[in-house]
Structure formats: structure tokens, C-alpha cells
Amino acid sequence: MSAEDLPETQRPRRGILFLLSGPAGSGKSTLLRRALNEDNNLAFSISCTTRSPREGETDGKHYHFLSDEEFSEKIENNEFLEHAKVHNWRYGTLAKTVIDLLDDGKDVIMDIDVQGADQVRDSENSVISDTLVDIFLTTADTAELEKRLLGRGSEDEDTFQLRMRTAVAEIKRWRDYTYCIVSGEHDEDFRALSSIISTERLRVSRMMS
């Protein structure tokens, strides 16, 4: 095969579904914001949640804020790719939104917990299973997580203790993922995530999908 033949072997590809999990305090939100700001072909999967908006959050941009009744209705209609209860609130990802983006060739990044990640891996939809790349972001130890959570100062004591208990359990799940980033300086974390995204985009199998 000559170099001239190479473009003819490549068809418009389906997008890649990047799934990012990690305990509270690992730095997921900051990392995602930078990746989305610097990568024009990366779209964020906006989750649904039953919690109230925090200061500065906008419905339809940061989350789809739903009532318990609305959330339950979507479960009954099988509209969620995944859903879970986290820190006393319910979160879920709409399957159609993700699949439509992937079919259009857009890479999608999801920020979901380990419960949701299990459901995505178990999806029977071939679009999801064929495009999934799962990544775990964590600190080297729980002491660093505790330091970061305390530094945010956004939770009361009960919420903080709940987040720490959840974090300890979640960290143990890092082996279930294809990639694991041990969080350090932000620039280092971003280089690691960017490297994973670039590597997956260069797979020949994706160019020919």
C-alpha cells in the first residue's frame, strides 16, 4: 500500500466515549474543564441530577436539574445509559444524547462515579461498547484527598465525612479501569489525559470504524 492509498482507507469515524471516574477531591472537574476548553472535538456529557444547583451552575449547561418524579420517569422509560445515587442525590446520563454525539463523530467525555461506570461497561448497545475508554483519576493516598476536600470548604461536616467514606471505597476500584492517572500537579494530570485521548484517536481500528 502506497502513502497515496492511506486516505482512501479511512472513513469518517465514530466518536470515542471517554469515561472519567475518581473520588471527590481528585481534580476531575478542573481537568475536564481544561480538556473541553482546549479540544474542539471533545464534548461533555451533561448529567441529570436531583440535587439543587450550586452557586454559578446553570440548568442545561452544568447539569439537567430534575425533580425526583422526573428522574424516576426517565428510569421507567429506560432513557438512562447509567444512573446512581451518590451522596444522597441521584445522577444519570441520557443514553440518546451520548449515542447521537458518537454517531456524529464527536468524542464524548463523561464524569461519572464507579457505580455508573459499571453500568456503562455492561451496556448492550454496540455503539457504547465499541467506543468506550475508561479512565480513573485519584490521588496517591486518602490524606491528599482529605486535604483537597477540606481546602474547598464547600461541605458541612456530615457531607465531608460522607464524601471521605465514599472516596475510600472508590479508590479501591482503580484496577477496574483501562487507564489510571495518579493526580499530582494540574499540568501533569492534563498531559496524562491528553496523551490518553491522543493515543486512542490514533488507533487504526477507530480510523476504519
Q: What is the pLDDT of residues 51-68, one digit of tens each?
A: 999 888 899 888 899 999
**Residue 83: closest CA among 49, 40, 34:** 49
Q: Measure Cα distances from 85 to 16, 82, 105, 156 in Å.
A: 26, 11, 31, 19
Residue 39 has a pLDDT of 95
26 vs 159 pLDDT, higher one = 26
In which residue are the cell numbers 465514530 written? 14
Burial class (CB in 10 A: 0-12, 13-18, 19+), 209: middle
The model's pTM is: 0.83
% the chain with pLDDT above 90: 56
Q: Which residue has the cell 473541553?
A: 36
Unique residue bearing C-alpha cell 429506560? 78
Mean pLDDT in residue range 111-120: 90
Q: How confident is residue 6, by pLDDT bands cut at 50, 70 and 90?
A: low
pLDDT in tens, 146-204: 887 776 666 677 777 877 888 888 899 999 999 999 998 999 999 999 999 999 999 98
- pLDDT value of position 147: 83
